Amino acid sequence: MVSTLIMQYKWIALSNTTLGVLMATINGTITIISLPAIFRGIGINPLAPSSFQYLLWILMGYNVVTATLLLSFGRLSDMYGRVRLYNLGFLVFTVGSILLSLTFGTGDMAGLELVIFRVIQGIGGAFLMANSAAILTDVFPVNERGRALGINQVAALAGSLIGLILGGILSVINWRYVFLVSVPVGVFGTVWSYLKLRETSAKNREGIDWIGNAVFGTGLILVLISMTYALMPYGSAQTGWGNPYVIGSLIAGLGLLALFPFLETRVKYPMFRMELFRIRLFTAANFAGFLRSIGYGGLMIMIVIFLQGIWLPLHGYSYSETPFWAGIYTIPLMIGFVSAGPVSGWLSDKYGSRGLATAGMIIVGLGFLALSTLPYDFSYPVFGAIIFMMGVGNGMFASPNTSSIMSSVPAKHRGAASGMRSTLQNTGQTVSIAIFFTIVILSLSSSLGPSLAHALTQAGAPQLSPYVQKVPVTGALFAAFLGYDPVKALLGTLPPSVASQIPASAISIMEQRTWFPSAIAPSFMLALRETFYFGAILSFVAAAASVLRGKAKISEEVVQYNAEKTRR
């Protein structure tokens, strides 16, 4: 009877944590795909100097918050109960979704509100992510964890897929529905988690490492904020990497993070279990996952910007339709992951994680190289096949890697281990977005002006070439994403003596929907190729790190042995 109840409960835990993952991932992709409708809805001018920061913070603010809090929340869950904090995460996330759908005002005020409410969502998401893998690891035996985590990963990708499609549909109707759609799932999940989930792990009543929390949290926030504002123009430069505040914040943040490991070895109850890094599998798998997040985390937003701002308009789609079709055209990436996730989880239970995870990252690296060969007017079947292959590679890596991390640590530290894993993953994703944008902006800063000047000459308005140099790269990126032509806005600000010299035929050409996408497409594709090379290199390095985890299949006996070994 007892064994039957245990069997039933593990599936209750899996279904509930899967629902949490589903809600969080729907929210992630639905926001990305719907940003044009959201910004048009609140009346943000993409060419205003302050506008690009709202795009960055809505994209990156959620990850900044979760990356900063995951480790602390994982530690707190070991002390006060994983289920208790997981349930609280459902509640906070739902409140954040409601607030987002009720955003008041327009322009900068509405943009600021969206950022604040996304931060609230991020707090709830941190509670969920810090505990879901630990809850599953508690209730599933070691020979079933890969399959359980694989199902969880499939739900994550299913949520991403649902978010892409729903975002395309709901953003056309009303941008507020984009956030409201998470509320019913959140309400149901909150009620169900409080009713059905129960604590199965022993609480670890150790004290809180207040100094470690302060040093780590402050250091990580400074690093991530500096990387975010480094993407904003500074003076005459297209990026802010020369901004003294950015440099100072980055140095201070890195200094605090470098100090953190030394502090953790000297406090009685450390938040970051440094001794876990003595476990070879734990260290290698986390390092591989961190590299994978840096190399891959910025890919989706770059693909979406390119599809919505360039490829779809060039193929006859109106800007009101591009969010929906961008979601449809990225489906192969999700299908590839969903296809490989459960199978790789099941195989890792039988044969171990090293071969699957390593092969998965090699496939992703090859996918990046394949993307770098495409022209900007690529054939969709070729593009679809490549991103499908990349989805398969990620599916082969994700659940075996997570399973091996969680199975390699003693049970009482699973909350901390889950928080450490999720912290590295979310930090990597945030850093990835910053690096991808930096690469694109720096590349476009030298190529965008000549591309626009060439397009103006072909259109019959060469006298405008000096003026297009005033169009900031961030403004051009933002404008392309929102379906907004900055050159048209520029025409309205020209001196009368210059405007009168522009032939009517040239104005007619520049007012065509496809003119601006065609003008920036060559330089933007060149910049994308550089991000693809970066992603390929990181993927291959992640594959090498994955090999270092060793070939032994993890068992509970090995876990106990490693735990005893770390205490000596």
CA dist., res. 380 & res. 385, Å (int): 8
Q: What span, in angstroms and rounded, lies between the C-alpha atoms of 304 and 53? A: 18
Q: Give CA–CA dist 36/441, Å, rounded.
A: 20
Class of domain 1-198: mainly alpha
pLDDT of residue 371: 95
For the record, the structure tokens of 546 come out as: 């994955």
Q: H helices of 81-181, where?
A: 82-101, 107-139, 145-173, 177-180
Tell which residue, 287, 298, 440, has the closest CA to residue 368: 298
158 in helix, strand or coil?
Answer: helix
Domain boundaries, the chain: 1-198, 209-268, 446-521
Phi and psi at residue 84, in whole multiples of 5°? -60, -45
User: What is the end-to-end Cα distance of the chain in Å, rounded?
Assistant: 40
Nearest-angstrom CA–CA distance, 393 and 398: 9
* Predicted local distance difference test score (pLDDT) of residue 248: 93
Q: What is the pTM of this model?
A: 0.78
Q: What is the DSSP letter of 485?
A: -
Q: How far apart are CA 226 and CA 474, in angstroms?
A: 17
Q: Which two tokens stand for residue 105?
A: 């005002």
Distance of CA 281 to the CA centre of its chain: 25
284 neighbors 550 (Cβ within 8 angstroms): yes
pLDDT of 157 reads 66
CA distance 294 to 391: 16
Give pLDDT < 70 ranges for the chain: 1-7, 46-50, 142-143, 145-147, 149-150, 153-154, 156-157, 200-208, 271, 341-342, 345-346, 349, 415, 469-471, 483-493, 550-568
- Say if residues 163 and 416 touch (Cβ distance below 8 Å): no
